[in-house]
Structure 1
Amino acid sequence: MTRGPDPLGVGIGWRPEIDLTVERLGVDFVEVIAETVRPSDLPESLRALRAGGTPVIPHGVGLGIGGAEQPDPQRLAHLAACAEALGAPLVSEHLAFVRAGDLDAGHLLPVPRTRDALSVIVQNVRQAQEALPVPLALENVAAVFGWPDDEMTEAEFLGELVERTGVGLLVDVANLYTNQVNLGLDARAALDVLPLDRLAYVHVAGGYAHDGVWHDTHTTTVPPDVLDLLAELCARARPPGVLLEWDADYPSDTVLADELGRVRGAMSGA
C-alpha cells in the first residue's frame, strides 16, 4: 500500500512516564513503541490524544524485517492491530536484524548490504505491507559495526529498497550522526543519496560522547550537530514531520518544550 504521506508537524515520542507532559506540550503528533501497548486496552492518555485529533504512530522495535526469516505473523498482526486501534496514518519499524530462530540479538543490528540480502528484505517488506492496513515506513539504524562484505552504502541500500517496494522512509538524523562519529560514514553524503521524496517523517534525539564513541541514548538534549543535519535535510526536502525521541532520565516540561522549539528552529532555519 503506498500513498503520499500526510503532514504531521512536530512531535514527540509518547512514553508512559511523561504521558501528562506530552498532553500538556500540545504537539502535532506522537509516536508510541508498539510493543509496549495492548490494542484492546490503550492507555487513557493515548485515547485522550486520539480523541483530541492528535495522530499516533505505532513504532515497532522487534519485527526484525532485516533478517533471513520471514516476518513473524504474530508481530505483524500486533502492529496491524495497533494501527487499527490508534487510527494511525502509518506504521514505522527499523531496517534491522533482530533475531535468528530463538536467538535474539537484544539490539537493532545493521543488515548486510548485499544484493542477496536486499532480495530477501524486499520480500519481507512486501509481506509486511500486505499484512498492514496502513503504509509502512522503515528507519535507518545506529550501527555498532559494519559488515565487511557490504556492496552498497546504507543510503544506496535504502534507496533501492524504497524503489522496489514503495516503502516509506523514516530518516533518523541522530543515527546518521552516530554512524558518522563511530564509523566514519559521511552523514551529509547520505542525505544526498537517500530518496527524500519518500520521507514519512524524521527522528531527532540526544546522546553523549565517551572516549571518542557517540552513544545514542535518547536521554539528553539534541546536540547542535544533529540539529545541523536536520537543517541540511530540510534544505533538501520538506519532511512531513519531525519527532523528538526521549526514552529515559526525563526532564521537566520546560526542557522538553525548549527542545521542541530548537527542532522547529532548525526546520525553519533551513
Structure 2
Amino acid sequence: MRWIRCVAVATLAMTITACTTSPTGRQQLTLMSDAQLNQMGQEAFAQYQQDLPAAGQAQQRYAQCVASAIVDVLPERERNQDWQIRVFESEQANAFALPGGYMGVNTGLLAIAETQDQLASVIGHEIGHVLARHANERVSTQTSTQVALSVLGSAAGLQGPGGDQLMGALGLGAQYGIMLPFSRRHESEADVIGLRLMADAGFDPRASVALWENMSAQGGARPPEWMSTHPSHGQRMQGLQAEMGNAMARYEQARQAGRTPNCPRP
C-alpha cells in the first residue's frame, strides 16, 4: 500500500543519514548534534542542582575520587570532556547521566553501594551511557517513531474518533514494542561498558554483581519486565557474569600497571 511505502521511505531516509556505532559495535540512529544535547545536559544539570540539596563535602570528594579514576582511563577525546559529578541528598537509590558528562548520585544509592568498587560500577555505568550517546539515540528513536506514526495517520486517512483510537493503540504499541525494549538495551549496554571501565581503572568488577545483590535485597514492587525501562535485577547480574571473564583479565592488567584506586568511603 502507498502509505506503507511512505512510512518506509521516511524512516529509511532518517536512518541512512544518521547511522553511527556504539562502543560495543551496535548500530545506532543519532539525529541530534552532540552540541545540542550537551547544551540540554548542561541546562538540566543546573536545574537538578537548584532542585535537590547537595550532600556533604566528604561524600562529594568520595564520588569525585571514584569518577576521576575511571575518567583517567578513557580514550583521550572522551577523557578531555568536562566531566562533572555531584552527590545529592535523597533517599531514592538513583543515579543519572546527562549528555556533556554531567552525572549525579543520590545518597540513597551511596548507602547501598557499600564499597568504592560498588560505587565504581554505578559511575562506570553512567559514564557508559554518555560514551554510547544513549540520550541522542533515545531522542532520535522517539522522533523517528513519531514521524512514522504521523505519516501513517495522514496517509491512511485515520481521522475522527475511530482513527484517534487506532492511532492511540499504535502509539502504545510503539511504546511497549520499541521504546521500552530499546531503553532496556541501553541499560544492558551501559552495564557492559561500565564493567570494562571500572576494571580498566583498577576497581574489582565482581563488585558490580554484589551491588545488584544489594539492590535486590532492598525489595520493592517492580513492573512486569515487558513494561519496564530497565532489565530485572536477575537479568543484569546474568549479563554481568557473562562478561566477567574479560573484565577480570582487564582488572588484572590494570593492577599490574599500578592502577590501585584508593577512595575512602565517608
Band the TM-score falls in, shorter-chain normalisation: under 0.3
Q: State the TM-score, normalized to the length of structure 1.
A: 0.23
Give 1 or 2: higher strand fraction.
1
Report the structure number with the largest CA radius of gyration: 2
TM-score (norm 2): 0.23
Higher relative contact order (CA 8 A, sep 6+): 2
